[in-house]
Structure 1
Amino acid sequence: MHAKQGDQIVIETQTLDALRRHGEVIEVIGQGEREHYRIRWQDGHESIYFPGPAARVVSAD
């Protein structure tokens, strides 16, 4: 997975009672397989995120 600043990260859930999470990429950290992101989530908090198999990128373009 590769994202750039301004893209949206969407995390699909595997359980029926959990909500889909999404946030904006505000910083790309690392390169290649070690790439991870600083995300501003929909509730306003920020965190460092290492993407897993449930994540997808929605391009800002």
Structure 2
Amino acid sequence: MQASVGDRLLVHGRIVGQHDRTAEIIEVLGSNGTPPYRVRFDDGHETLMSPGPDTVVRHFPSDGS
């Protein structure tokens, strides 16, 4: 998994009835865009994440595209 600051993570719910959550990547701590990431969820909560297979990166387009 590779991501950049500003990209968003979509974390799928793991059990029936659990909603998907999104988080903005605010810091990349791994080399070459790899985890771990410092993220901020929509409710303002910040945490350090090493995303698993239930997570998808939504890349934020750069200004040049």
How high is the TM-score relative to the length of structure 1? 0.88
- 1:17 CA displacement: 1.3
Return the structure number with greater strand share: 1
Q: Which runs of 5+ in 2 are unaligned?
A: none
RMSD: 1.4
When the two structures are superposed, what TM-score results if normalisation uses the length of structure 2? 0.83
Q: 1:48 is paired with a residue of what secondary structure?
A: strand
Greater Cα radius of gyration, structure 1 or 2:
2
After the TM superposition, list the runs of 4 or more consecutive aligned residues in structure 1 that deviate by more than 2 angstroms. Answer: none
Please list, as runs of the form range in 1=range in 2, the aligned pairs for 1:18-37 lying within 5 A after superposition.
18-31=18-31, 35-37=35-37
Identity in percent = 35
Aligned to 1:42: 42
Aligned length: 60
Gaps of 5+ in 1: none
